[in-house]
Every structure is written in structure tokens, then in C-alpha cells.
Amino acid sequence: MVTQLHLWLGLLVIAINLVAGIWGLLVWRRKLPANKAYAQVLAASQTVIVGQAIIGLLLLSQNLRAAEQLHYVYGLLPAAMVVFAYSARRDDHLRNILIFSIAALLAAALSIRALTVSGIMG
């Protein structure tokens, strides 16, 4: 049950971070306004990452291990991306949007890689 939740949450991490990243790049390029909906999607993308990391740690505590050790590196790096994005904030609003967008896209890419080395797909 928890393993399936971890899988589905991982897929959600990928999807919502792709949306947040692309949307953020469009906001940064001034093709879309930075509105409340964008802020909520960005916050949700980061919340799902943290939730996914917590579920992964719960699985580890139950002695359920991934097929490859690299899964843990790729699985925890998205959480590190969230921390990095917040630590890199400055007074420049557009710069912050760019940083959060890049972090979201990297989190999605890292999560895809985590999925591929998890042992579920092979």
C-alpha cells in the first residue's frame, strides 16, 4: 500500500513540477502573469516533493529497499532543489521565478531518473 502511494506520488511529483517549471518560465518570459494560481501550483509542487521524501523515508524505516542505491540519490535531490531555491531567493521577483522554475524542472527530471532506477520499471 505505501509502496503504491510512493509510486503514484512520484508520478505526481513529475507531472506537477513539469507544469510549475514550464508555467514559471512563461511567467519569467512575461508571456503569462504571475498570479495566485501559479503561486499555488508552485507551492503544491514543492509540498508534493517533501511528502514524497517523507514517504520514501517511511519505506526505508520498514526495511523496504529500492533495487539500486542510486534511487535514494535521485529521490532526495528534488527535496534539495526546494531548499536551494529558497536559499537562493533575492529581492528580484523575476530572478526568483526563474530559479524556482529551473528547480522545478530539475526536480521533475531527477524524479524521472529516480523512477527509472527504482526497479519498478524493469
What's the CA gap between 57 and 23, in Å, rounded?
Answer: 30
CATH number at residue 78: 1.20.120
Please give the torsion angle defined by the CA atoms of residues 5, 19, 85 and 97, in that order, rounded to the nearest 10 degrees: -160
29 domain-assigned = yes
Residue type, 30: R
Q: Are 45 and 16 in contact (CB under 8 A)?
A: yes
97 domain-assigned = yes
122 domain-assigned = no
Give the structural domain span for 58. 2-116
51 domain-assigned = yes
Non-local CB neighbours of 1 within 8 Å, separated by 6+ positions = none
The C-alpha cell at 120 is 519498478
88 domain-assigned = yes
Q: What's the whole-model pTM score?
A: 0.93
* Model pLDDT for residues 41-68, shown as the tens digit of each residue: 999 999 999 999 999 999 999 999 888 9
* Model pLDDT for residues 26-42, shown as the tens digit of each residue: 999 999 999 999 999 99
Number of domains in the chain: 1
